[in-house]
Chain A
Amino acid sequence: MPVINVEDLTDKDKAVMEVNQLKLEVKLERWLTSKCCEEIKEYIQALVEEDTLVKGISEEKNPFKEKGGCVIC
């Protein structure tokens, strides 16, 4: 794998790199944002009930709770 030292690239090299990259990206097939946002929303809705940081956690089940304390019998 040839090592491309970015410091050695001239302004022209960088411009050519940019054009080639844009030529690749212009061909992308893009989905409708409405469909994409709907999917993200549905993904979250399906999992949010199990999301501890949204729903909270009971003291007994909390792995990070502070342990210790004294009990006087």
Chain B
Amino acid sequence: MSEDPSIPSSSSSQMSEDDDRSPPLDLIDGPIPSSKSRNCSGVSGSGVGTSVENTVPYPDQVLENVLENVLCFLTSRRDRSSASLVCKSWYRAEALTRSELFIGNCYAVSPRRATARFTRVRAVTIKGKPRFADFNLMPANWGAHLAPWVSSMAKAYPWLEKLCLKRMSVTDDDLALLAESFAGFKELVLVCCDGFGTSGLAVVVSKCRQLRVLDLTETEVMDDDVDWICCFPESQTFLESLMFDCVECHINFEALEKLVARSPSLKKLRLNRHVSIGQLYRLMVRAPQLTHLGTGSFNLSEGMAQGDQELDYVSAFAACKSLVCLSGFREILLDYIPAIYPVCSNLTSLNLSYANITAEQLKPVISQCHKLQSFWVLDSICDEGLKAVATTCKELRELRVFPVNAQEDAEGPVSEVGLEAISEGCRKLRSILYFCQRMTNAAVIAMSKNCSELVVFRLCIMGRRRPDHVTGEPMDEGFGAIVMNCKKLTRLAVSGLLTDRAFSYIGKYGKLVRTLSVAFAGDSDLGLKYVLEGCHKLQKLEIRDSPFGDTALCSGLHHYYNMRFLWMSSCSLTRQGCWAIARELPRLVVEVMKSNEGEEEGDNFDTLYMYRSLEGPRDDIPQFVEILRPGI
């Protein structure tokens, strides 16, 4: 349920699952671009088309030219998809004017097909593994390799400027090819990726001389002992955003300081935990124009005692008059918290989710954050801390409360009390992720009524199948109220003790729900059936450890082509049930896998992962994946 930081920015809003607008059927039914060649400029009247149906002369060409000019302004994927379905000439015009390509599932379409249709793309986003891979529910080497995409794009889009990847496997070689192939490359955003190391980073930063953005978020980077910071060009850079807070390797601080000094456009800087507060000071002094800052450790460097180095941190923060987004605090030394007071009243986003602080320690900070819209925090602040948030942060749109102790049977410092307080105080709330050990239906119902703007509701009661701890009842009514009252809800994650009734509510009222996450819930096939039959907009469904079987699976046949994927692990499915789907829906790729390698082939499998695709079975499956493919 944990997700990438959705600090509002152009790159990460593309990544956010909630923002997704995947076109329903165009990839399936849309025609492969015809073999007509076309005059690129499109300005001159005479087309070079040699198609058979080119019967209408000049006026059509004018229309197409006009169309292209108009379509340039169309940015929404959904709108573009609709435009492309009008007729062939609109299809062509749209294809030529699409400059941003979004691939929601890297296996739904091949690089060859995508680059053949869209020939003038400057920015590409690709998403790979399903989200449950983040929680070790999928063995490594499942797939989602960037390599075939990079090689196709290297030939098709030499002018590529921007690449955003989420949950993709990226190697150093891929990065080297990227750096070689795209002379004007400007932005690299890697979210939840892995497979490469500092060597790959080094090549990118040294060869991509136009680089503006290098954002690594929750991405694993291997320590190859390469000093990648040194590899930036010696001259002034175009850097606007450098985020490497997730990189666990030590960095060359002197080189970083010089880099910041020669990057006058730098607005966003997120440091990793190996940067001490003293070093942070030096960087802030050089870059008071920053709008987004990740503070690194916010602690002294090793071997230093407090008092060794008394820098004026308060002034450094005060000088950053444009600072609106603050994060980091990886190893926070509490004495230094007051340093951030000068910026609190301007902050729209604050991420304290690495800082194990109490309510008392939070209050002096949060009481100044009147403009805060996004707040990530640990449950160490307890219900009392959440009350303090509710008192001050009237503009809050997004809240995430993470557990310090992510275990099922731990003491829970936050509960329904905190949730209810938030619902009372933060009426504009749109997105919430809340980990707790105890919850009540009453609090959830209260939130459903107070926070009518909710788009994302993710509640994780950490003990599996826990009922309402006051009434002992299932949490059905609470979640039911959410789908009933929050009319804009598109993303939902459920937990606690839930019967099929909860799912009947979701199916009945969750008409806009696109993403649904279910774990240890439900009684029978009916539960899943309700959802598949009722949630017409459902795109992404991930289910684990719930008693849904083949009958339920079959009840979604009418809808699977409209979905991006379905994940079901440790449920009550059988191989036969999955085969039935594979036979009925030939354009669906039905993958079954075992989580433990080396188990014998048999009827058992752990996970079903299925998704629509234009390409049929992929050719890079690892040994533990089997694709159910009806015989030819």
Physical interaction between A and B: no
